[in-house]
A and B are shown apart, each in its own frame.
Chain A
């Protein structure tokens, strides 16, 4: 499937493949500008309101060639400290897996950023030596916004500007890369949804990096990602449920946040956490009924998540159909609306009965980060 080569304007002028609402149904072709027609009054759309950081920072080791390395933040700084993936020489025109490997760093090493000031390496993740924790000091946000640029993609014709990688409703600066499923939602579309009695709620999820060019590191993606669910969103979901409305997640990040939060407490609770749950064909959806998402191919990390909604064969068939019809992939590509197959979702319980559901992340045991910010609460395995 071809990628979209540039951000499209108007933002809602992209195709929408509407997946079947039952196992025997057929996909329909539509446009995001008419999203309202695919939903009914009482449905709820949940957005990820994270704004995209200018998370690509030029760096070099003191004494080396300036800008010989690149840091890509994996999330926002906290207390001046930030995690990042280190990239070797080259720029966005080179495929990430074609770039030479960066030097292996140690705790205590000092990188210099474009502002001439230091970034101290304070930790190296045992998942991978390219995954660093850096101390950017008290002016961390200023340094990132003054010297960072958005992460760039080789398949694009031109470098991306900050305004091209923001959703209309972007707020908290948490996303390392744009939560791209939300980009096509224009004001026309959002206003039309409201007009039709389709509710809109938000949560914030620190959408992370999509690729690092290193197979071992890519296999570890997505990394634990911070999220925050407001009480008003928990209430909006409960309200939709009461009126038989469907909960539609705009983007895989929204699925990750809602399903992770539900799993921890056995019910959806407002608050902050870190999503570590790996969602795939073994996961039984508890909150989300539908997913609005970009075109993901089998083998990509996001594709596995689709298999919680529909059987793998159905997900693959939908992708095949989209590719055949010339849908565009990647962050400025077309969207699909995938409804969870209730029989498939129900059957996830049966497939899990014989083994306990775990948080499935041995990464947490090894990583210096991760862990959960919720107070310990009851967990239940249905």
Chain B
């Protein structure tokens, strides 16, 4: 999918992978509707993008809040036109330090599910019907190795991401004409990673900019089958990572 002029909605856009995706897509002339909970870092990003001639808009909202979804999507459509790509990137780890399931309150688990699973579900519903009737559109659900491997203390987050991966598959099975992908970005040098694993050596981590470029390349060639799950850097040359 050629990204120039396309309407892109990215959640969790103010930092980390979301921010890198906004910059990468902005460079290709996409029209960006950027969602984050905090206005200041988002406004800083949008100002920087606009200085570079990119059309970008600030949408402050919490994807875990049911009431926030329709106004966010509505305003996004008003500003950038039809949403052609939805990037469900906003995620919460839940309380940190991460903790075993026996030490996790049920409300903590349900909050993580609200943000990481139900939020993307609601957003996909809000844009997916229009995409399906138009016969085009891409929904990217950002996944994690924690969705596949059973890492102790990654219970809430891992469960939500595993469920999100399965949503991707079922969306794909039900809705022809729209592409649904689960993309595992790998371990990146971001604030979220530092919150989860403060002792990690940044030199061993991927740069979010490289991951974002790889994801954008996938959007443009759109060769991956709908419903598939893949590593963002799968098939990318080692030196790019």
Contacts and interface: CB of A to CB of B under 8 A. Distances in A.
Interface in A201-235: 202
A162 B75 CA distance: 12
Interface in A31-83: 47, 49, 51, 53-54, 76
Interface of A: 47, 49, 51, 53-54, 76, 141-142, 145-146, 161-163, 166-173, 187, 190-191, 200, 202
A171 B130 CA distance: 6
Interface string B125-162: 01001101110000000000000000000000000000
B109 interface: no
Main secondary structure of the interface of B (DSSP, over half): helix
B133 A173 contact: no
Nearest to A140: B78
Given A200-B133, A202-B133, A171 B78 contact: no
Given A146-B71, A163-B69, A169 B129 contact: yes
Contacts of A200: 133
Contact of B74 (A47, A54, A191): A54
11 contacts: A76-B78, A141-B75, A141-B79, A162-B70, A163-B126, A166-B126, A169-B130, A171-B82, A172-B81, A190-B132, A191-B174
Contacts of B82: 171-172
A368 B126 CA distance: 36
Contact of A145 (B66, B74, B81): B74
B67 interface: yes
B206 interface: no
Given A141-B79, A163-B69, A190 B74 contact: no
Contacts of A172: 77, 81-82
A187 B129 contact: yes
Closest 4 CB pairs of A and B: A162-B70, A168-B129, A145-B75, A171-B130
Given A145-B72, A145-B75, A166-B70, 9 more contacts: A49-B133, A53-B74, A162-B71, A171-B77, A172-B77, A173-B77, A200-B133, A202-B133, A202-B134
